[in-house]
Structure 1
Amino acid sequence: MLRTYGIMLNPNKCLFGAKSGWFLGYIVTERGIEANPSKVKVLQDMPTPRNIKEAQCLTSWITALSQFISKSSDRSLPFFKILRRATKFQWDSECDRTFEELKVYPNSFPVLAKLTVGATPSDREEARLLRRRASRFTLIGDQLYKKAFSRALLKCVISEDIDYILREVHQGSYGGHPSGRSLARKILLAGYFWPTLQEGAAQTMATCLSCQRYHNLPHQPTEEMKTSTVSCSFNQWGMDIMGSFLTGQRKFLLVAVDYFSKWVEVESLARITEQMDQKFIWQHIICRFRIPRQLVLDNGRQFAEHNSKNGVRGIAFSRSSPP
């Protein structure tokens, strides 16, 4: 055939009988064309774009790997919307979420390259990490599996099947609406795996309407509880605002409770301002009892400016919860 068309070959540049090799920046094997691990690494190490030029650079790398990313046009749609608004760069939460998902998606590319053709990065440390990671996977035919300890191989699923598996195991015929951790465990026992399994299971439970409506309410505090040490009466007070009430002109109650004796001081007010708040502290706490060591306030804007300059010197003001 070569002699018929007069084609000459350089023997030094020819390699016959090879099962794989590099060509035009891609890995060509008997299975087809594989992604270049160096291009994948550039995409995964890329920082969040801060301007139009960096967004254009991101879309160019996505285009270079588009044939290896399922529905790449749909995945990169938020980035192209930014480029349409060429006069104004606005990186929103949707772009942030899509960018993080896109960086996670090609995680299996270097592993596939290692398992199929033994290709490794030129950097010695990166090659060592890749070999260590690839040892946890195996390739049977065209399907990638993850090796699991004391159980069968786990099938690595593509992104198009993730939502279906989560929905079927969580609320299918035998789902039972398990919690996030239990849902992830049931999926592993069913023989499926993907890198963001734990996060996807937690997100599925958090967005399930039935779980939010009928699930047992957690009684665990949202933050670490603080120890309250009160040595005597009227030494530490807690203040809060109640209302508004529908009857009468005075619709609000300003309440102060002593931490030690549980003594309550209350005043009804038509409106609550910073000045009225300071007047209440002076008349109902300081003049009736004494200057307290500490006042615990909430994050209401009426309490926002309390400090030693506009209050009474010697009183420590603290918040019942972080702002």
Structure 2
Amino acid sequence: MLWKWLVKPQGLKNAPATSIDLYCVRRAVNDKTDIEMHKEHLRQRLGLMRKHKLYVNLKKCIFGASEIPVLGCLVGKNGVRPDPEKVRVINELPTPSNVKELRQFLGLATYLCKYVDNYAGKIRPLSQRLKKEAAWNWTGECQ
């Protein structure tokens, strides 16, 4: 019996690569201001998807936006920037009071490393507090 998948099953070895290819290469991000051109591109892409029996969840679609959330970041014609909500949560975290809390904070703050120049240099005082022989003394430099 011959059969084919109607949806992509989990666990296939090449499924992530195929998904990323479809997600990134076929992304309909348009920085042009012509709304009609954008609508035409959408019609073409959605028609092609219908032809090949590919479906999208309209609740997850964003049309005509100048900036869209992609993999935890905001992507627009001016580039990639961190999600302000994630930055707000990190900023509102209480000051760590022990090594365990400091590790948790650094794990969350790593999200920002690609957006901060000299990130490793800026967190050096915090990283030094993680060493076994380091005494726990929170200074202004750490804050």
- TM-score tier by shorter-chain length is 0.5 to 0.7
1:90 and 1:49 mapped to 2: Cα distance? 11
Match of 1:43 in 2: 90
3-state DSSP class of the match of 2:130? helix
Match of 1:29 in 2: 76
1:77 aligns with 2:121: no
Structure 2 residues not aligned, in runs of 5+? 1-25, 27-44
Match of 1:97 in 2: 141
TM-score w.r.t. the length of structure 1 is 0.26
Task: Give the Å deviation of 1:73.
Answer: 0.7
Q: What is the correspondence of 1:152-301 to structure 2 with a 5 Å cutoff?
A: none
Q: Is the 8 A contact 1:51 1:89 kept in 2?
A: no
- CA change 1:7–1:51 in 2 (3 A) is farther
1:83 and 1:45 mapped to 2: Cα distance? 22
Larger Rg: 1
1:88 and 1:15 mapped to 2: Cα distance? 49
Match of 2:54 in 1: 8
Task: Give the Å deviation of 1:70.
Answer: 1.5
- CA change 1:14–1:52 in 2 (3 A) is same
> Aligned residues: percent identity?
24
3-state DSSP class of the match of 1:63? helix
Q: Is the 8 A contact 1:52 1:89 kept in 2?
A: no
Task: Give the Å deviation of 1:88.
Answer: 5.5
TM-score w.r.t. the length of structure 2 is 0.54
2:112 aligned residue (29, 47, 65): 65
3-state DSSP class of the match of 2:109? helix
Task: Give the structure with the higher percent strand.
Answer: 1
Match of 2:40 in 1: none
Match of 1:52 in 2: 99
Task: Give the Å deviation of 1:21.
Answer: 1.7
1:38 and 1:15 mapped to 2: Cα distance? 19
Task: Give the Å deviation of 1:72.
Answer: 0.8
- CA change 1:7–1:27 in 2 (3 A) is farther
CA distances 1:253-299 after superposition (whole Å, capped 9, x unpaired): xxxxxxxxxxxxxxxxxxxxxxxxxxxxxxxxxxxxxxxxxxxxxxx
User: Which one-letter code corresponds to 2:137 in the other structure?
Assistant: W
- CA change 1:89–1:46 in 2 (3 A) is farther
1:11 and 1:58 mapped to 2: Cα distance? 35
Using CA pairs under 8 Å that are at least 6 residues apart, name the structure with larger relative contact order, 1 or 2: 2
